[in-house]
């Protein structure tokens, strides 16, 4: 008889627990980013208007699909808020990061974040992992190291303050300071700059725009995205303002994905924490 | 992962890309018995290629003292320890390569140096293994020893840097096998820095890209040997083209030294990269140490080199090192002369098998002055 009673007891207990949960449950967190329609987009992460938006905590996943992979999790989630002014989207990303990694160096890695959108609004979403052939994604990247300004102009002392250099070829007496000839000489020893590689310079508006059609394919593009960051007591808050995908309207909505790199964990490139595609819907202020 | 053949291991191995050998592989032989660590090569490279901002610490060419020297710090011992046992049997490697030992999530077993590891460019200089005790005599190998190891990028047949780059920014030129890093494409992930076991890729913190030895490819395209070769006052280096063993041509100086006489050996072949800079091992160093660096054929190579005094072909070819700026793709010995030639047989340089010796009288009658040969 007790054999029958025991399951019954368990069932009754479970019902009580479940019932209790139902009674205490609050509304489930939104599984979409609700983008608030505003007249003007802020670029400052501390702007009070962000308080009017709904924050979505988005869990981050290891990038463990393609080599080189990240196998040790670091940043668990990113808190995202979003605004739309009818032309551009603004995202505010906030995440916990105990160490500020904004210094350049031979073995230093920068904290960073990125926002990824499909190139255009279409029925089939690109692969969330950097898009795929024929279904590109557009990405806006922010790096903490850019706070240090254009390093090349500052020289090695910006990285290692006690470094001493005897002479560079562009300092030859025959080269007039500031002349084209002098710049030419400097570029001989800086091929990445000579070739216009975008990683060799600091973006004017604090953000880099790139497109990708799968892992390993990112290509810089000229856009007008902006980024601004502040160090919070617990990590970073970064605002990224950028164009929406082609064909985007308040009615269409779209999807967005995020990535966070923790410099202290030597995360860079594909070694990152990333999100899945998150639906994004424009809402009006109530 | 693909399965490729690595003749230096005597077996197949796994590699990120399928086997695809270049039309010709530019290669080199360094005679370690002649290196005096004058660093002329280091300076020649430095002034030619890495005098710019952010390149201050880079040494695409460096010369370190073994056993204790290393740049960056412990570049070799650290990885060898990570790799585990490296055993050979009958010329075949039984251990794992750095591709086969790659941990989960990685393409290559590697490590990335810290800033500090680059802070001592010539640590261990002239430090010898052991102490000079009373009663020691000069025998071979020396009881107390050190030797100099000049190093550049090995322009490997299976480059770990190339395998590790997730962007495909590193490529091996089909025409000469030189491994280059595309400065327009690199995004500074430093996977190559981590993967290269020889640590010959360097990150430029001011341009945000990694940079490496280019084997002076603009000179090669003009038929000339690299800067670090032609500025070597010890004449220890010879550049040329290497064939795979089954196509070895004795008229080709590199083939002759590596494949025919087997006197020049790859650096750390057990790592699996099939490096294309070959070293004639120093004859005064215990074989046991050298085998770790150059593989299982050291004993034979050392003995062959020691016999060179009775071996006019080998002794003659070694005389040809550093005697021309041009690349010498062919050679022959004619009695007491060694002739370096173009592919078509045209003579580039002619050197005597033995330098003539002149004895001069102790007293110079013409100038009425005593001369002697000792300082």
Residues of B in contact with A193 (CB under 8 A): 207
Q: Rounded distance, CA B147 to CA A123, Å?
A: 67
3-state secondary structure of A187: helix
| Confidence at residue A19, expressed as pLDDT on a 0 to 100 scale | 40
Tell me if chain B has a CB within 8 Å of the CB of A216.
Answer: yes
Give the nearest partner residue to A186 out of B52, B112, B113, using CB atoms. Answer: B52
Res. A17: pLDDT tops 70: no
On the 0-12 / 13-18 / 19+ scale of CB atoms within 10 A, B133 is exposed
* Facing A190 at nearest CB: one of B53, B114, B184: B53
- In order of start, what are the domains of chain A with their CATH numbers? 33-149+207-283 (2.60.40.1190), 157-201 (no CATH)
Q: Which residues pair with A35 in a beta bridge?
A: A82, A282
Q: Which residues of B touch A168 (CB under 8 A)?
A: 51-53
pLDDT at res. A1: 32
| Candidate from A67, A160, A192 with C-beta closest to B208 | A192
- What is chain B's percent helix, strand, coil content, to nearest 5? 20, 20, 55
Please give the Cα distance from A95 to A259 (Å, whole number). Answer: 11
User: Are the C-beta atoms of B299 and B92 separated by less than 8 Å?
Assistant: no
Q: What pLDDT score was predicted for residue A25?
A: 59
Q: Please answer whether residues B12 and B93 qualify as being in contact, where contact means their C-beta atoms are separated by less than 8 angstroms.
A: no
Nearest alpha-carbon partner for A277 in A150, A149, A137: A137
Gap between the Cα atoms of A146 and A112, Å rounded:
10
The residue written with tokens 């107390």 in the block is: B144
The whole-chain average pLDDT of chain A stands at: 90
B190 vs A contacts (CB less than 8 Å): 268
Q: Is the pLDDT of residue A274 over 80?
A: yes
Mean pLDDT of A49-55: 96
Residues of chain B with pLDDT under 70: 373-375
Any idea what the Cα angle at residue A172 is, between residues A167 and A176, rounded to 5°? 130
CB atoms near residue B251 (< 10 Å):
14
Neighbour-count burial for A232-259, b at 16+ CB within 10 Å, e otherwise = eeebbbbbbbbbbbeebeeeebbbbbbb
Q: What share of chain A is helix, strand, coil (3-state, %, to 5)?
A: 20, 30, 50
Q: A33 pLDDT exceeds 50?
A: yes
Q: How far is B154 from chain A (nearest CA, A)?
A: 22
For A213-231, write each residue's pLDDT tens digit. 999 999 999 889 999 999 9
pLDDT number for residue B117: 97
In this prediction, residue A28 carries a pLDDT of 59
- The pLDDT, as a whole number, for residue B351 is 96
- Percent of the residues in chain A that have a pLDDT greater than 70, as a whole number: 89
Supply the pTM of this predicted model.
0.92
pLDDT given for residue A9 in this prediction:
39
């Amino acid at each position: 008889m007790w054999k029958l009673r025991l399951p019954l007891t368990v069932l009754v207990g479970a019902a009580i627990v479940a019932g209790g949960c139902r009674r205490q449950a609050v509304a489930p967190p939104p599984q979409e980013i609700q983008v608030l329609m505003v007249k003007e987009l802020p670029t400052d992460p501390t702007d009070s208007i962000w308080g009017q938006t709904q924050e979505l905590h988005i869990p981050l996943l290891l990038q463990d699909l393609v080599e080189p992979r990240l196998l040790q999790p670091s940043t668990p989630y990113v808190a995202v808020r979003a605004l739309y002014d009818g032309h551009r989207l603004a995202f505010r990303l906030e995440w916990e990061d105990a160490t500020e990694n904004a210094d350049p160096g031979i073995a230093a890695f920068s904290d960073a974040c990125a926002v990824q959108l499909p190139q255009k609004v279409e029925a089939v979403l690109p692969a969330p992992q950097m898009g795929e052939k024929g279904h590109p994604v557009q990405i806006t990247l922010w790096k903490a190291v850019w706070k240090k300004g254009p390093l090349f102009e500052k020289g090695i002392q910006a990285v290692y303050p006690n470094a001493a250099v005897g002479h560079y070829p562009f300092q030859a007496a025959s080269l007039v300071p500031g002349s084209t000839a002098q710049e030419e000489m400097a570029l001989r020893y800086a091929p990445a700059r000579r070739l216009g590689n975008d990683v060799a310079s600091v973006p004017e508006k604090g953000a880099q725009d790139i497109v990708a059609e799968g892992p390993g394919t990112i290509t810089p593009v000229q856009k007008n995205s902006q980024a601004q960051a502040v160090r919070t007591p617990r990590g970073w808050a970064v605002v990224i303002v950028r164009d929406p995908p082609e064909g985007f309207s308040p009615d269409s909505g779209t999807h967005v994905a995020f990535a966070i790199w923790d410099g202290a964990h030597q995360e860079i490139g594909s070694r990152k924490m990333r999100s899945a595609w998150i639906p994004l819907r424009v809402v009006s202020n109530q | 992962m693909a399965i490729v053949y690595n003749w230096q291991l005597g077996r197949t191995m796994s590699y990120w890309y399928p086997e695809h050998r270049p039309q010709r592989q530019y290669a080199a032989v360094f005679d370690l018995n002649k290196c005096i660590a004058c660093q002329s090569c280091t300076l020649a490279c430095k002034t030619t290629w890495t005098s710019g901002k952010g390149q201050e610490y880079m040494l695409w060419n460096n010369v370190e003292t073994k056993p204790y020297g290393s740049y960056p710090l412990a570049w070799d011992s650290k990885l060898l320890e990570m790799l585990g046992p490296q055993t050979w049997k009958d010329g075949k490697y039984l251990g794992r390569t750095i591709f086969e030992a790659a941990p989960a999530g990685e393409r290559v077993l590697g490590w990335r140096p810290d800033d500090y590891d680059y802070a001592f460019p010539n640590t261990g200089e002239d430090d010898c293994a052991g102490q000079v005790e009373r009663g020691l005599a000069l025998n071979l190998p020396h009881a107390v020893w050190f030797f100099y190891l000049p190093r550049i990028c090995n322009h490997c047949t299976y480059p770990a840097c190339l395998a590790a780059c997730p962007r495909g920014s590193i490529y091996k030129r089909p025409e000469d096998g030189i491994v280059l890093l595309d400065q327009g494409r690199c995004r500074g992930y430093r996977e190559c820095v981590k993967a290269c076991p020889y640590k010959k890729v360097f990150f430029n913190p001011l341009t945000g890209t990694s940079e490496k030895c280019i084997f002076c490819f603009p000179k090669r395209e003009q038929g000339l040997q690299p800067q670090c070769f032609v500025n070597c006052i010890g004449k220890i280096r010879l550049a040329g083209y290497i064939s795979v063993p089954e196509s070895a041509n004795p008229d080709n100086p590199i083939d002759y030294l590596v494949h025919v006489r087997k006197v020049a050996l790859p650096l750390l072949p057990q790592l699996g990269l099939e490096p294309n800079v070959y070293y004639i091992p120093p004859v005064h160093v215990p074989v046991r140490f050298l085998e770790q660096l150059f593989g299982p054929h050291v004993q034979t190579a050392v003995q062959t080199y020691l016999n060179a005094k009775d071996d006019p072909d080998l002794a003659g070819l070694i005389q040809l090192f550093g005697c021309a700026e041009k690349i010498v793709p062919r050679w022959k010995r004619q009695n007491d002369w060694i002739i370096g030639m173009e592919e078509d047989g045209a003579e580039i340089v002619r050197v005597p098998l033995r330098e003539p010796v002149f004895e001069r009288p102790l007293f110079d009658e013409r100038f009425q002055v005593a001369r002697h040969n000792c300082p």
